[in-house]
A and B are shown apart, each in its own frame.
Chain A
Amino acid sequence: MNGDIALAAHGLRRSFHQGRVRALDGVDFQLPAQASVAITGASGSGKTTLLYALSGLLELDAGTVSVEGHSPKTPAHWADLRRDRIGLVFQDDWLLPALSVAQNIEIAMHNTHRTAAERQARTRELLQLVNAEAFAERRPNELSGGERQRVAVARGLANAPAILLADEPTGELDQANSTHIADLLFDLQRSQGLSLVIVTHEHTLARRCALQFVMQDGRGAFDPDKAAP
Protein backbone atom coordinates (compact mmCIF):
# COMPACT_ATOMS: atom_id res chain seq x y z
CA MET A 1 0.00 0.00 0.00
CA ASN A 2 2.98 2.28 0.50
CA GLY A 3 2.88 5.04 -2.12
CA ASP A 4 -0.91 4.78 -2.44
CA ILE A 5 -3.46 7.25 -1.14
CA ALA A 6 -5.33 6.00 1.93
CA LEU A 7 -7.75 8.91 2.15
CA ALA A 8 -8.54 11.57 -0.38
CA ALA A 9 -11.03 14.42 -0.23
CA HIS A 10 -11.95 16.92 -2.90
CA GLY A 11 -13.91 20.14 -2.67
CA LEU A 12 -15.36 19.46 0.77
CA ARG A 13 -17.95 22.04 1.73
CA ARG A 14 -20.06 22.18 4.83
CA SER A 15 -21.72 25.17 6.41
CA PHE A 16 -23.76 25.58 9.59
CA HIS A 17 -26.35 28.05 10.83
CA GLN A 18 -28.05 28.57 7.47
CA GLY A 19 -24.76 29.06 5.71
CA ARG A 20 -23.47 31.79 8.02
CA VAL A 21 -20.63 29.57 9.28
CA ARG A 22 -18.54 27.86 6.61
CA ALA A 23 -16.78 25.09 8.49
CA LEU A 24 -15.40 23.56 5.32
CA ASP A 25 -15.02 25.83 2.33
CA GLY A 26 -13.69 23.76 -0.53
CA VAL A 27 -11.11 21.61 1.23
CA ASP A 28 -8.88 19.22 -0.70
CA PHE A 29 -6.99 16.68 1.36
CA GLN A 30 -4.86 13.61 0.85
CA LEU A 31 -3.47 11.07 3.29
CA PRO A 32 -0.71 8.89 1.83
CA ALA A 33 -0.84 5.30 2.96
CA GLN A 34 1.14 4.60 6.15
CA ALA A 35 1.87 8.31 6.58
CA SER A 36 0.97 10.52 9.50
CA VAL A 37 -0.74 13.86 9.07
CA ALA A 38 -1.49 16.42 11.74
CA ILE A 39 -4.48 18.66 11.08
CA THR A 40 -3.83 21.88 12.92
CA GLY A 41 -5.39 25.30 13.15
CA ALA A 42 -7.08 27.67 15.52
CA SER A 43 -10.26 26.79 17.36
CA GLY A 44 -13.22 26.93 14.97
CA SER A 45 -11.01 26.63 11.91
CA GLY A 46 -12.74 23.39 10.83
CA LYS A 47 -10.25 20.74 12.01
CA THR A 48 -12.74 18.44 13.69
CA THR A 49 -15.33 19.01 10.98
CA LEU A 50 -12.77 17.85 8.43
CA LEU A 51 -12.03 14.73 10.49
CA TYR A 52 -15.73 13.92 10.73
CA ALA A 53 -16.08 14.45 6.99
CA LEU A 54 -13.15 12.10 6.30
CA SER A 55 -14.82 9.39 8.42
CA GLY A 56 -18.32 9.75 6.96
CA LEU A 57 -19.80 10.95 10.24
CA LEU A 58 -20.86 14.24 8.70
CA GLU A 59 -23.22 15.02 5.84
CA LEU A 60 -21.47 17.26 3.33
CA ASP A 61 -22.95 20.08 1.32
CA ALA A 62 -20.54 19.24 -1.48
CA GLY A 63 -17.37 17.30 -2.17
CA THR A 64 -16.25 13.71 -2.22
CA VAL A 65 -14.23 11.48 0.06
CA SER A 66 -12.57 8.30 -1.09
CA VAL A 67 -11.18 5.63 1.19
CA GLU A 68 -8.47 3.46 -0.36
CA GLY A 69 -9.90 4.28 -3.75
CA HIS A 70 -13.55 3.64 -2.82
CA SER A 71 -16.09 6.43 -2.66
CA PRO A 72 -18.77 5.39 -0.18
CA LYS A 73 -22.20 6.69 -1.10
CA THR A 74 -24.47 5.31 1.61
CA PRO A 75 -24.43 5.42 5.43
CA ALA A 76 -24.27 1.61 5.41
CA HIS A 77 -21.15 1.65 3.24
CA TRP A 78 -19.56 4.23 5.52
CA ALA A 79 -20.44 2.10 8.56
CA ASP A 80 -18.75 -0.90 6.95
CA LEU A 81 -15.63 1.18 6.30
CA ARG A 82 -15.55 2.50 9.86
CA ARG A 83 -15.87 -1.05 11.12
CA ASP A 84 -13.24 -2.61 8.84
CA ARG A 85 -10.85 0.07 7.55
CA ILE A 86 -11.09 3.25 9.62
CA GLY A 87 -10.50 3.46 13.35
CA LEU A 88 -11.61 6.50 15.28
CA VAL A 89 -10.35 8.02 18.52
CA PHE A 90 -12.19 11.02 19.93
CA GLN A 91 -11.10 13.84 22.17
CA ASP A 92 -13.81 12.86 24.60
CA ASP A 93 -13.19 9.17 24.82
CA TRP A 94 -16.86 8.40 24.18
CA LEU A 95 -16.74 5.05 25.93
CA LEU A 96 -20.07 3.41 26.66
CA PRO A 97 -20.68 3.76 30.40
CA ALA A 98 -22.72 0.57 30.77
CA LEU A 99 -19.92 -1.66 29.51
CA SER A 100 -16.62 -2.68 31.00
CA VAL A 101 -13.33 -1.66 29.43
CA ALA A 102 -13.00 -5.03 27.69
CA GLN A 103 -16.59 -4.88 26.44
CA ASN A 104 -16.04 -1.35 25.13
CA ILE A 105 -13.25 -2.70 22.97
CA GLU A 106 -15.10 -5.84 21.98
CA ILE A 107 -18.20 -3.91 20.95
CA ALA A 108 -16.32 -2.50 17.95
CA MET A 109 -15.92 -6.08 16.67
CA HIS A 110 -19.66 -6.69 16.69
CA ASN A 111 -20.98 -7.97 13.37
CA THR A 112 -17.54 -8.90 12.02
CA HIS A 113 -16.34 -12.26 10.75
CA ARG A 114 -14.68 -12.95 14.12
CA THR A 115 -16.06 -15.64 16.40
CA ALA A 116 -16.71 -14.88 20.07
CA ALA A 117 -13.45 -16.58 21.01
CA GLU A 118 -11.54 -14.60 18.41
CA ARG A 119 -13.10 -11.35 19.60
CA GLN A 120 -12.10 -12.09 23.16
CA ALA A 121 -8.55 -13.03 22.12
CA ARG A 122 -8.27 -9.82 20.09
CA THR A 123 -9.58 -7.82 23.03
CA ARG A 124 -6.92 -9.33 25.31
CA GLU A 125 -4.29 -8.52 22.69
CA LEU A 126 -5.42 -4.90 22.50
CA LEU A 127 -5.63 -4.55 26.27
CA GLN A 128 -2.04 -5.73 26.42
CA LEU A 129 -1.06 -3.36 23.63
CA VAL A 130 -2.34 -0.28 25.45
CA ASN A 131 -1.34 -1.64 28.85
CA ALA A 132 -4.91 -1.76 30.11
CA GLU A 133 -5.16 -5.37 31.27
CA ALA A 134 -5.24 -4.33 34.91
CA PHE A 135 -8.52 -2.50 34.56
CA ALA A 136 -10.17 -4.60 31.86
CA GLU A 137 -13.26 -5.31 33.94
CA ARG A 138 -13.74 -1.81 35.29
CA ARG A 139 -16.31 0.61 34.00
CA PRO A 140 -15.17 3.84 32.25
CA ASN A 141 -16.23 6.02 35.17
CA GLU A 142 -13.73 4.20 37.35
CA LEU A 143 -10.78 5.19 35.14
CA SER A 144 -8.54 8.23 34.88
CA GLY A 145 -8.58 10.37 31.73
CA GLY A 146 -5.36 8.78 30.45
CA GLU A 147 -6.66 5.28 31.07
CA ARG A 148 -9.90 6.03 29.24
CA GLN A 149 -8.03 7.45 26.29
CA ARG A 150 -5.85 4.32 26.08
CA VAL A 151 -9.02 2.24 25.97
CA ALA A 152 -10.40 4.51 23.24
CA VAL A 153 -7.23 3.94 21.22
CA ALA A 154 -7.58 0.19 21.70
CA ARG A 155 -11.19 0.35 20.53
CA GLY A 156 -10.12 2.34 17.48
CA LEU A 157 -7.68 -0.43 16.59
CA ALA A 158 -10.07 -3.30 17.30
CA ASN A 159 -10.60 -4.39 13.72
CA ALA A 160 -7.00 -3.72 12.64
CA PRO A 161 -7.89 -0.68 10.54
CA ALA A 162 -5.63 0.64 7.82
CA ILE A 163 -6.45 4.22 8.80
CA LEU A 164 -6.67 5.73 12.28
CA LEU A 165 -8.32 9.12 12.73
CA ALA A 166 -7.76 10.75 16.10
CA ASP A 167 -9.45 13.95 17.25
CA GLU A 168 -7.38 15.75 19.89
CA PRO A 169 -6.38 12.41 21.44
CA THR A 170 -4.25 14.15 24.06
CA GLY A 171 -6.37 17.26 24.41
CA GLU A 172 -7.57 16.72 27.95
CA LEU A 173 -4.59 14.87 29.36
CA ASP A 174 -1.73 15.97 31.56
CA GLN A 175 1.78 16.05 30.12
CA ALA A 176 2.75 12.53 31.16
CA ASN A 177 -0.42 10.93 29.83
CA SER A 178 -0.29 13.08 26.72
CA THR A 179 3.22 11.87 25.93
CA HIS A 180 2.23 8.29 26.68
CA ILE A 181 -0.74 8.37 24.28
CA ALA A 182 1.28 10.09 21.58
CA ASP A 183 4.06 7.48 21.90
CA LEU A 184 1.44 4.76 21.67
CA LEU A 185 -0.10 6.19 18.50
CA PHE A 186 3.20 6.64 16.70
CA ASP A 187 4.52 3.25 17.80
CA LEU A 188 1.35 1.67 16.38
CA GLN A 189 1.61 3.73 13.22
CA ARG A 190 5.09 2.44 12.62
CA SER A 191 4.63 -1.14 13.81
CA GLN A 192 1.28 -1.75 12.14
CA GLY A 193 1.70 0.41 9.08
CA LEU A 194 -1.22 2.62 9.98
CA SER A 195 -2.17 5.70 8.04
CA LEU A 196 -2.64 8.22 10.81
CA VAL A 197 -4.54 11.51 10.95
CA ILE A 198 -4.38 13.49 14.17
CA VAL A 199 -6.36 16.63 14.79
CA THR A 200 -4.44 18.63 17.34
CA HIS A 201 -3.64 22.09 18.49
CA GLU A 202 -0.48 20.90 20.25
CA HIS A 203 2.66 21.80 18.31
CA THR A 204 4.65 19.04 19.97
CA LEU A 205 2.28 16.40 18.75
CA ALA A 206 1.90 18.00 15.31
CA ARG A 207 5.66 18.09 14.82
CA ARG A 208 5.86 14.33 15.32
CA CYS A 209 3.70 13.80 12.22
CA ALA A 210 5.31 13.53 8.82
CA LEU A 211 2.87 16.03 7.32
CA GLN A 212 0.91 18.94 8.62
CA PHE A 213 -2.39 20.18 7.18
CA VAL A 214 -3.26 23.62 8.39
CA MET A 215 -6.90 24.74 8.55
CA GLN A 216 -7.96 28.36 8.62
CA ASP A 217 -11.53 29.66 8.25
CA GLY A 218 -12.74 26.47 6.66
CA ARG A 219 -9.93 26.25 4.14
CA GLY A 220 -6.90 24.03 4.40
CA ALA A 221 -3.49 23.43 2.92
CA PHE A 222 -0.46 21.31 3.66
CA ASP A 223 2.34 23.10 5.44
CA PRO A 224 5.02 23.74 2.81
CA ASP A 225 7.71 23.50 5.47
CA LYS A 226 6.92 19.80 5.65
CA ALA A 227 7.09 17.56 2.63
CA ALA A 228 3.87 17.65 0.57
CA PRO A 229 2.16 14.28 0.01
Chain B
Amino acid sequence: MRLVLIALRNLAYWQPRNLGAMAGILIAIASLVALVGLARGVQDTLLNALDMRGTDVLITEAGALDLISSIVPDSLAQDAAQITGVDATAPELTRLTTLEDGRSVVVVAWPVDSYPWDSLTLAQGRLPTAQDAQTVVLGQALADRLSANIGDTITLFHEPFEVIGTVTATALLSRSAAYARIGDVQALTFRQGQATSINIRTERAHRTATLQTLRAGFPDLSVETTDALGDSYLFGRIANVLALAISTVAVVSAVLVIFNTMSTSVTARRGEIAILSAVGWNRPHIVAMLLIEGSVISMIAGGLGILAGILLATGVAAHPQIVGFVDPVINAGLVAWAFAVSLGVGLLGTLVPALRAVRRPPAEVLRGR
Protein backbone atom coordinates (compact mmCIF):
# COMPACT_ATOMS: atom_id res chain seq x y z
CA MET B 1 0.00 0.00 0.00
CA ARG B 2 1.47 3.34 -1.02
CA LEU B 3 2.14 6.10 1.45
CA VAL B 4 -0.25 8.44 -0.35
CA LEU B 5 -3.03 5.87 -0.19
CA ILE B 6 -2.50 5.36 3.54
CA ALA B 7 -2.58 9.14 4.06
CA LEU B 8 -5.78 9.49 2.04
CA ARG B 9 -7.46 6.67 3.96
CA ASN B 10 -6.51 8.37 7.20
CA LEU B 11 -7.94 11.64 5.91
CA ALA B 12 -11.18 9.95 4.94
CA TYR B 13 -11.49 8.11 8.26
CA TRP B 14 -10.77 11.09 10.49
CA GLN B 15 -13.30 13.25 8.68
CA PRO B 16 -14.76 15.13 11.67
CA ARG B 17 -11.33 16.07 12.97
CA ASN B 18 -10.03 16.94 9.52
CA LEU B 19 -13.13 18.98 8.74
CA GLY B 20 -12.45 20.94 11.92
CA ALA B 21 -8.86 21.55 10.83
CA MET B 22 -10.05 22.55 7.38
CA ALA B 23 -12.59 24.96 8.83
CA GLY B 24 -9.87 26.66 10.86
CA ILE B 25 -7.61 27.07 7.84
CA LEU B 26 -10.51 28.10 5.61
CA ILE B 27 -11.53 30.91 7.97
CA ALA B 28 -7.93 32.10 8.34
CA ILE B 29 -7.28 32.16 4.59
CA ALA B 30 -10.69 33.71 3.82
CA SER B 31 -9.95 36.50 6.31
CA LEU B 32 -6.52 37.00 4.82
CA VAL B 33 -7.78 37.26 1.24
CA ALA B 34 -10.76 39.47 2.14
CA LEU B 35 -8.85 41.88 4.39
CA VAL B 36 -5.86 42.28 2.12
CA GLY B 37 -8.04 42.48 -0.99
CA LEU B 38 -10.20 45.20 0.55
CA ALA B 39 -7.24 47.12 1.95
CA ARG B 40 -5.55 47.15 -1.43
CA GLY B 41 -8.84 47.98 -3.10
CA VAL B 42 -9.39 51.13 -1.06
CA GLN B 43 -6.33 52.73 -2.60
CA ASP B 44 -6.44 51.14 -6.03
CA THR B 45 -10.03 52.21 -6.63
CA LEU B 46 -8.99 55.88 -6.70
CA LEU B 47 -5.81 55.26 -8.68
CA ASN B 48 -7.66 53.14 -11.25
CA ALA B 49 -10.16 55.94 -11.81
CA LEU B 50 -7.37 58.44 -12.43
CA ASP B 51 -5.44 56.06 -14.61
CA MET B 52 -8.50 55.22 -16.68
CA ARG B 53 -9.12 58.80 -17.64
CA GLY B 54 -5.60 59.07 -19.08
CA THR B 55 -4.18 61.37 -16.45
CA ASP B 56 -0.44 60.90 -15.97
CA VAL B 57 0.32 63.76 -13.59
CA LEU B 58 -1.80 65.48 -10.98
CA ILE B 59 -1.12 68.92 -9.53
CA THR B 60 -2.62 69.37 -6.09
CA GLU B 61 -2.14 71.46 -2.99
CA ALA B 62 1.12 70.61 -1.25
CA GLY B 63 0.50 68.84 2.03
CA ALA B 64 -3.17 68.16 1.34
CA LEU B 65 -4.65 65.35 3.37
CA ASP B 66 -6.22 63.79 0.32
CA LEU B 67 -7.37 64.57 -3.18
CA ILE B 68 -10.72 65.97 -2.12
CA SER B 69 -9.35 68.35 0.50
CA SER B 70 -6.83 69.90 -1.90
CA ILE B 71 -7.56 73.39 -3.23
CA VAL B 72 -5.73 74.92 -6.19
CA PRO B 73 -6.71 77.71 -8.66
CA ASP B 74 -8.37 76.26 -11.75
CA SER B 75 -6.34 78.71 -13.86
CA LEU B 76 -3.31 76.51 -13.23
CA ALA B 77 -4.61 74.26 -15.98
CA GLN B 78 -3.92 76.96 -18.55
CA ASP B 79 -0.45 77.63 -17.09
CA ALA B 80 0.44 73.95 -17.16
CA ALA B 81 -0.78 73.62 -20.74
CA GLN B 82 2.00 75.99 -21.84
CA ILE B 83 4.74 73.64 -20.67
CA THR B 84 6.52 71.61 -23.30
CA GLY B 85 5.56 67.95 -23.22
CA VAL B 86 2.09 68.58 -21.77
CA ASP B 87 -0.48 67.14 -24.14
CA ALA B 88 -3.68 68.26 -22.38
CA THR B 89 -4.84 69.65 -19.05
CA ALA B 90 -8.13 69.83 -17.19
CA PRO B 91 -9.00 71.31 -13.81
CA GLU B 92 -11.04 68.94 -11.69
CA LEU B 93 -13.30 69.65 -8.76
CA THR B 94 -14.22 66.53 -6.86
CA ARG B 95 -16.72 66.69 -4.02
CA LEU B 96 -18.48 64.19 -1.84
CA THR B 97 -22.15 64.87 -1.31
CA THR B 98 -25.08 63.07 0.19
CA LEU B 99 -28.00 61.86 -1.86
CA GLU B 100 -31.62 61.80 -0.77
CA ASP B 101 -31.30 58.16 0.25
CA GLY B 102 -28.57 59.12 2.72
CA ARG B 103 -25.76 57.46 0.83
CA SER B 104 -22.65 59.33 -0.28
CA VAL B 105 -21.69 59.92 -3.89
CA VAL B 106 -18.56 61.31 -5.51
CA VAL B 107 -19.26 64.19 -7.90
CA VAL B 108 -16.47 64.82 -10.40
CA ALA B 109 -16.57 68.06 -12.35
CA TRP B 110 -14.55 69.10 -15.38
CA PRO B 111 -14.91 71.84 -18.00
CA VAL B 112 -17.01 70.76 -20.96
CA ASP B 113 -14.94 69.50 -23.87
CA SER B 114 -11.92 68.75 -21.62
CA TYR B 115 -10.07 65.47 -22.21
CA PRO B 116 -11.25 63.46 -19.14
CA TRP B 117 -14.76 63.32 -20.65
CA ASP B 118 -13.27 61.24 -23.48
CA SER B 119 -12.52 58.42 -21.02
CA LEU B 120 -16.23 57.92 -20.33
CA THR B 121 -18.17 55.64 -22.63
CA LEU B 122 -21.71 56.82 -23.11
CA ALA B 123 -24.28 54.13 -22.49
CA GLN B 124 -27.24 56.44 -22.99
CA GLY B 125 -27.89 60.13 -23.57
CA ARG B 126 -25.15 62.69 -24.07
CA LEU B 127 -22.36 64.58 -22.34
CA PRO B 128 -22.81 68.18 -21.02
CA THR B 129 -22.39 71.13 -23.36
CA ALA B 130 -21.61 74.80 -22.69
CA GLN B 131 -25.30 75.60 -23.00
CA ASP B 132 -26.37 73.26 -20.20
CA ALA B 133 -27.04 74.28 -16.64
CA GLN B 134 -27.05 71.85 -13.70
CA THR B 135 -26.99 68.74 -15.81
CA VAL B 136 -25.31 65.51 -14.70
CA VAL B 137 -24.05 62.32 -16.25
CA LEU B 138 -24.24 59.24 -14.02
CA GLY B 139 -21.92 56.30 -13.87
CA GLN B 140 -23.90 53.20 -14.80
CA ALA B 141 -23.58 51.66 -11.34
CA LEU B 142 -24.88 54.84 -9.74
CA ALA B 143 -27.71 55.12 -12.25
CA ASP B 144 -28.71 51.54 -11.50
CA ARG B 145 -28.52 52.20 -7.78
CA LEU B 146 -30.76 55.26 -8.08
CA SER B 147 -32.95 53.73 -10.80
CA ALA B 148 -32.36 56.99 -12.65
CA ASN B 149 -33.16 57.41 -16.34
CA ILE B 150 -32.42 60.09 -18.88
CA GLY B 151 -34.57 63.13 -18.12
CA ASP B 152 -34.96 62.34 -14.43
CA THR B 153 -33.91 64.86 -11.84
CA ILE B 154 -31.68 64.07 -8.89
CA THR B 155 -30.62 66.31 -6.04
CA LEU B 156 -26.94 67.20 -5.69
CA PHE B 157 -25.73 69.85 -3.24
CA HIS B 158 -29.41 70.46 -2.41
CA GLU B 159 -30.08 71.54 -6.00
CA PRO B 160 -31.85 69.69 -8.81
CA PHE B 161 -29.67 68.24 -11.59
CA GLU B 162 -31.10 66.81 -14.77
CA VAL B 163 -29.72 63.41 -15.76
CA ILE B 164 -28.66 63.76 -19.39
CA GLY B 165 -26.56 60.63 -19.82
CA THR B 166 -25.18 57.45 -18.31
CA VAL B 167 -21.65 56.20 -18.83
CA THR B 168 -19.78 52.95 -18.44
CA ALA B 169 -16.20 52.63 -17.24
CA THR B 170 -13.85 49.90 -16.13
CA ALA B 171 -12.89 51.63 -12.86
CA LEU B 172 -15.40 51.13 -10.07
CA LEU B 173 -15.16 54.71 -8.82
CA SER B 174 -15.86 55.96 -12.33
CA ARG B 175 -18.93 53.72 -12.64
CA SER B 176 -20.20 54.90 -9.27
CA ALA B 177 -19.58 58.64 -9.66
CA ALA B 178 -21.66 61.51 -11.00
CA TYR B 179 -20.11 63.85 -13.58
CA ALA B 180 -21.00 67.51 -13.98
CA ARG B 181 -19.75 70.77 -15.44
CA ILE B 182 -17.10 72.33 -13.21
CA GLY B 183 -18.83 75.73 -13.27
CA ASP B 184 -22.02 74.29 -11.76
CA VAL B 185 -20.19 72.52 -8.95
CA GLN B 186 -17.93 75.48 -8.22
CA ALA B 187 -20.99 77.73 -7.84
CA LEU B 188 -22.91 75.32 -5.61
CA THR B 189 -19.96 74.50 -3.33
CA PHE B 190 -18.68 78.09 -3.05
CA ARG B 191 -15.46 77.27 -4.85
CA GLN B 192 -15.50 79.68 -7.76
CA GLY B 193 -12.17 79.63 -9.55
CA GLN B 194 -11.03 76.64 -7.52
CA ALA B 195 -10.27 73.04 -8.33
CA THR B 196 -9.16 70.11 -6.24
CA SER B 197 -6.56 69.10 -8.80
CA ILE B 198 -5.23 69.77 -12.26
CA ASN B 199 -5.28 66.68 -14.48
CA ILE B 200 -2.37 66.56 -16.90
CA ARG B 201 -1.90 64.20 -19.82
CA THR B 202 1.70 64.18 -21.02
CA GLU B 203 3.29 63.20 -24.28
CA ARG B 204 4.44 59.65 -23.74
CA ALA B 205 7.95 60.17 -25.13
CA HIS B 206 8.72 63.08 -22.80
CA ARG B 207 6.95 62.01 -19.64
CA THR B 208 9.91 62.07 -17.25
CA ALA B 209 11.29 65.34 -18.54
CA THR B 210 7.82 66.90 -18.47
CA LEU B 211 7.33 65.88 -14.86
CA GLN B 212 10.60 67.55 -13.91
CA THR B 213 9.64 70.72 -15.79
CA LEU B 214 6.23 70.78 -14.08
CA ARG B 215 7.82 70.38 -10.67
CA ALA B 216 10.20 73.20 -11.43
CA GLY B 217 7.35 75.34 -12.71
CA PHE B 218 5.11 74.77 -9.68
CA PRO B 219 7.51 74.47 -6.76
CA ASP B 220 4.89 75.27 -4.12
CA LEU B 221 2.47 72.58 -5.26
CA SER B 222 2.41 68.82 -5.22
CA VAL B 223 3.20 67.51 -8.69
CA GLU B 224 2.96 63.74 -8.72
CA THR B 225 2.42 60.95 -11.16
CA THR B 226 -0.83 59.13 -10.54
CA ASP B 227 1.14 55.98 -9.62
CA ALA B 228 2.75 57.81 -6.71
CA LEU B 229 -0.41 59.47 -5.46
CA GLY B 230 -1.03 56.86 -2.80
CA ASP B 231 2.15 57.93 -1.05
CA SER B 232 1.79 61.65 -1.45
CA TYR B 233 -1.33 62.25 0.65
CA LEU B 234 -1.59 61.69 4.35
CA PHE B 235 -4.73 59.63 3.89
CA GLY B 236 -2.95 57.70 1.17
CA ARG B 237 -0.09 56.98 3.52
CA ILE B 238 -2.56 56.04 6.25
CA ALA B 239 -4.29 53.70 3.78
CA ASN B 240 -0.92 52.17 2.92
CA VAL B 241 0.00 51.68 6.56
CA LEU B 242 -3.45 50.30 7.31
CA ALA B 243 -3.21 47.92 4.37
CA LEU B 244 0.18 46.76 5.61
CA ALA B 245 -1.07 46.43 9.19
CA ILE B 246 -4.20 44.58 8.15
CA SER B 247 -2.19 42.30 5.88
CA THR B 248 0.26 41.58 8.67
CA VAL B 249 -2.48 40.88 11.20
CA ALA B 250 -4.30 38.69 8.69
CA VAL B 251 -1.17 36.71 7.85
CA VAL B 252 -0.10 36.32 11.48
CA SER B 253 -3.63 35.26 12.46
CA ALA B 254 -3.72 32.79 9.58
CA VAL B 255 -0.32 31.41 10.53
CA LEU B 256 -1.29 30.99 14.19
CA VAL B 257 -4.66 29.39 13.39
CA ILE B 258 -3.21 27.00 10.82
CA PHE B 259 -0.24 26.14 12.99
CA ASN B 260 -2.43 25.47 16.02
CA THR B 261 -4.97 23.50 13.99
CA MET B 262 -2.39 21.26 12.38
CA SER B 263 -0.46 20.83 15.63
CA THR B 264 -3.61 19.72 17.42
CA SER B 265 -4.43 17.34 14.60
CA VAL B 266 -1.01 15.69 14.69
CA THR B 267 -0.83 15.60 18.48
CA ALA B 268 -4.18 13.78 18.60
CA ARG B 269 -2.61 10.99 16.56
CA ARG B 270 0.37 10.25 18.77
CA GLY B 271 -0.99 6.75 19.33
CA GLU B 272 -0.97 5.94 15.64
CA ILE B 273 2.48 7.43 15.28
CA ALA B 274 3.72 5.26 18.15
CA ILE B 275 2.24 2.08 16.67
CA LEU B 276 3.73 2.79 13.25
CA SER B 277 7.08 3.17 14.96
CA ALA B 278 6.45 -0.06 16.86
CA VAL B 279 5.86 -2.02 13.65
CA GLY B 280 9.09 -0.74 12.17
CA TRP B 281 8.28 2.46 10.35
CA ASN B 282 11.21 4.81 10.52
CA ARG B 283 10.78 8.47 11.38
CA PRO B 284 11.07 9.92 7.85
CA HIS B 285 8.26 7.67 6.58
CA ILE B 286 5.95 8.61 9.44
CA VAL B 287 6.69 12.30 8.96
CA ALA B 288 6.19 11.97 5.20
CA MET B 289 2.76 10.37 5.72
CA LEU B 290 1.71 13.17 8.07
CA LEU B 291 3.02 15.80 5.67
CA ILE B 292 0.97 14.32 2.84
CA GLU B 293 -2.10 14.51 5.04
CA GLY B 294 -1.25 18.05 6.12
CA SER B 295 -0.67 19.22 2.57
CA VAL B 296 -3.98 17.76 1.33
CA ILE B 297 -5.86 19.45 4.18
CA SER B 298 -4.03 22.73 3.60
CA MET B 299 -4.56 22.72 -0.16
CA ILE B 300 -8.28 21.92 0.01
CA ALA B 301 -8.93 24.34 2.87
CA GLY B 302 -6.68 26.98 1.31
CA GLY B 303 -8.49 26.75 -2.03
CA LEU B 304 -11.90 26.95 -0.38
CA GLY B 305 -10.64 29.77 1.86
CA ILE B 306 -9.59 31.79 -1.17
CA LEU B 307 -13.03 31.35 -2.72
CA ALA B 308 -14.69 32.29 0.56
CA GLY B 309 -12.40 35.32 0.85
CA ILE B 310 -13.36 36.52 -2.61
CA LEU B 311 -17.05 36.14 -1.76
CA LEU B 312 -16.57 37.88 1.59
CA ALA B 313 -14.67 40.82 0.09
CA THR B 314 -17.23 41.16 -2.69
CA GLY B 315 -20.03 41.08 -0.14
CA VAL B 316 -18.38 43.73 2.02
CA ALA B 317 -17.74 45.95 -1.01
CA ALA B 318 -21.39 45.64 -1.94
CA HIS B 319 -22.56 46.92 1.45
CA PRO B 320 -24.92 49.86 0.91
CA GLN B 321 -22.75 52.23 2.95
CA ILE B 322 -19.62 51.76 0.84
CA VAL B 323 -20.86 50.43 -2.48
CA GLY B 324 -19.04 52.18 -5.31
CA PHE B 325 -16.07 53.28 -3.22
CA VAL B 326 -13.99 50.15 -3.04
CA ASP B 327 -13.35 47.39 -5.50
CA PRO B 328 -11.48 44.53 -3.79
CA VAL B 329 -8.13 43.86 -5.45
CA ILE B 330 -7.80 40.08 -5.42
CA ASN B 331 -5.41 39.31 -8.22
CA ALA B 332 -3.43 36.21 -9.13
CA GLY B 333 -0.59 37.39 -6.93
CA LEU B 334 -2.76 37.59 -3.83
CA VAL B 335 -4.38 34.23 -4.62
CA ALA B 336 -0.98 32.59 -5.09
CA TRP B 337 0.30 34.22 -1.92
CA ALA B 338 -2.70 33.08 0.15
CA PHE B 339 -2.38 29.55 -1.24
CA ALA B 340 1.34 29.54 -0.45
CA VAL B 341 0.62 30.74 3.10
CA SER B 342 -1.96 27.99 3.54
CA LEU B 343 0.25 25.24 2.15
CA GLY B 344 3.50 26.51 3.65
CA VAL B 345 2.14 27.07 7.12
CA GLY B 346 0.09 23.88 6.91
CA LEU B 347 3.21 21.88 6.12
CA LEU B 348 5.27 23.66 8.77
CA GLY B 349 2.42 23.28 11.26
CA THR B 350 2.42 19.56 10.52
CA LEU B 351 6.18 19.14 10.41
CA VAL B 352 6.98 20.64 13.80
CA PRO B 353 4.56 18.51 15.88
CA ALA B 354 5.27 15.50 13.66
CA LEU B 355 8.99 15.73 14.39
CA ARG B 356 8.20 16.19 18.07
CA ALA B 357 5.86 13.19 18.02
CA VAL B 358 8.25 10.81 16.25
CA ARG B 359 11.07 11.77 18.61
CA ARG B 360 8.99 10.78 21.58
CA PRO B 361 9.75 7.18 22.60
CA PRO B 362 6.71 5.09 21.52
CA ALA B 363 6.51 3.42 24.93
CA GLU B 364 5.53 6.72 26.54
CA VAL B 365 2.44 6.87 24.36
CA LEU B 366 1.63 3.15 24.37
CA ARG B 367 1.89 2.95 28.17
CA GLY B 368 -0.31 5.99 28.60
CA ARG B 369 -3.24 4.69 26.60
Contact = CB atoms under 8 A, between A and B. Distances in A.
A97 interface: yes
A98 B369 contact: no
Given A52-B363, A57-B363, A92 B369 contact: yes
A79 B283 contact: yes
A88 interface: yes
Interface stretch (A103-111, A142-150, A177-185, A199-207): A103-111
Contacts of B366: 52, 57, 90, 94
B233 to A, nearest CB: 58
B13 A97 contact: yes
Given A52-B367, A90-B366, A110-B1, A96 B275 contact: yes
Nearest to A52: B363
A192 B361 CA distance: 30
Contacts of A171: none
A143 to B, nearest CB: 16
Nearest to B286: A79
> Size class of A's contact patch?
20 to 34
Contact of A80 (B275, B279, B280): B280
A145 B1 CA distance: 25
Interface string B1-12: 101001001101
Interface string B168-203: 000000000000000000000000000000000000
B337 interface: no
Contact of B283 (A49, A76, A94, A103): A76
Interface in B250-309: 271-272, 274-283, 285
Given A98-B10, A106-B1, A111-B285, A83 B280 contact: yes
A57 B280 CA distance: 10
Given A103-B1, A103-B9, A110-B285, A159 B280 contact: yes
Nearest to A159: B280
A158 B279 CA distance: 9
A94 B275 contact: yes
Q: Among A94, A106, A155, which residue has the most Cβ atoms of chain B within 10 A?
A: A94
A111 B369 CA distance: 27
Nearest to B275: A94
A58 B3 CA distance: 26
Interface string B347-369: 00000000000000111101101
A27 B151 CA distance: 102
Interface in A95-128: 96-99, 103, 106-108, 110-111, 116, 119
Interface in A20-77: 48-49, 52, 55, 57-59, 75-76
A219 interface: no
A82 interface: yes
Interface in A201-219: none
A223 interface: no
A94 B275 CA distance: 7
A57 B279 contact: no
Contacts of B281: 79, 83, 110-111
Given A57-B362, A110-B1, A94 B367 contact: no
Contacts of A55: 278
B280 A79 contact: yes
A133 interface: no
B278 A98 contact: no
B282 A79 contact: yes
B14 interface: yes
Contacts of A103: 1, 6, 9
A98 B18 CA distance: 13
B279 A155 contact: yes
Interface of A: 48-49, 52, 55, 57-59, 75-76, 79-84, 88, 90, 92, 94, 96-99, 103, 106-108, 110-111, 116, 119, 155, 158-159
5 contacts: A76-B283, A84-B280, A88-B278, A90-B278, A110-B3
Given A48-B367, A80-B280, 7 more contacts: A79-B277, A82-B280, A83-B279, A88-B278, A94-B366, A98-B12, A98-B14
Question: Which 9 pairs across A and B sit closest by C-beta, in order of nearness?
Answer: A83-B280, A98-B13, A52-B363, A58-B363, A82-B280, A57-B363, A108-B279, A79-B282, A57-B362
Interface of B: 1, 3, 6, 9-10, 12-14, 271-272, 274-283, 285, 361-364, 366-367, 369
